[in-house]
Amino acid sequence: MRAGRRTSQFRLESTGGLPPNRTTFFSAMHLADILTPAQIIPEMRATNRWEAIDELVEQLVIAGRVKPEHRQDIAAVVKKREQSMSTGIGFGVGIPHAVSDLISEVVGVLGRSSKGMLFESLDNQPVTLVILFLVPQGQFQKHLHTLSNIAKNLHNADFRSALAAAPDAASLYQVIASIRPGR
């Protein structure tokens, strides 16, 4: 009985406190699953969250992850979500995200700003790391689990420091890939 409780507790902790179900263990995505070096901006030009969203969506277009004709609609859905509440979670991190029927798989893009951006974060501090991700319509569980994994990784000070020290997109990706389970 006690072992069952431990297992259940572990499952709850490993799923971000969500009740375990059949999809819980298979639906979570990690940063390395949704990024490539082409989806990383080592030094963003944006000075605020609205410019950051536009710049990150543009990078998804450049990387071939979002169709050019969907650029404005994708940016609009992310901005609409951001208007309801800032996704600046503190620690210099912003995680704008949205659900869209204009994509068929989870996609993400990471941007870094050495100067920091105004993001209306929970701690009122500038944001230096922004990860924007999009989840296809109808994949709410995947959306929650992906958000949970990204937030958990970015709450780690050593991980954030390693990202800040990486000199270029390829190095940033190597840092991200190093936290992927099984590596």
What is the pLDDT at residue 59?
98
Rounded CA-CA distance 32/177 in Å is: 5
Residue from 47, 97, 104, 105 nearest 75 by CA: 97
Quick: pLDDT tens for 56-84.
999 999 999 999 999 999 999 999 999 99
CATH class of 30-178: alpha beta
What is the pLDDT at residue 4?
36
Residue 118 has phi, psi (to 5 degrees) of -75, 125
Q: Is the pTM of this model over 0.75?
A: yes
Task: Tell me the residue ranges of DSSP E strands in 137-180.
Answer: none
What is the pLDDT at residue 181?
56
What is the pLDDT at residue 146?
77
Asked about 30 being catalytic, the answer comes back as: no
What is the pLDDT at residue 111?
98
User: Max Cα separation, the chain?
Assistant: 56
Among candidate residues 30, 97, 143, 145, the one labeled active-site is 97
| 3-state helix vs strand vs coil in the chain, percent to 5 | 50, 20, 35
What is the pLDDT at residue 129?
97
Residue ranges per domain, the chain? 30-178
Tokens of 100: 């869209």
- Identify the segments of the chain with pLDDT beneath 70: 1-29, 143, 180-183
Q: Cβ(116)–Cβ(60) under 8 Å?
A: no
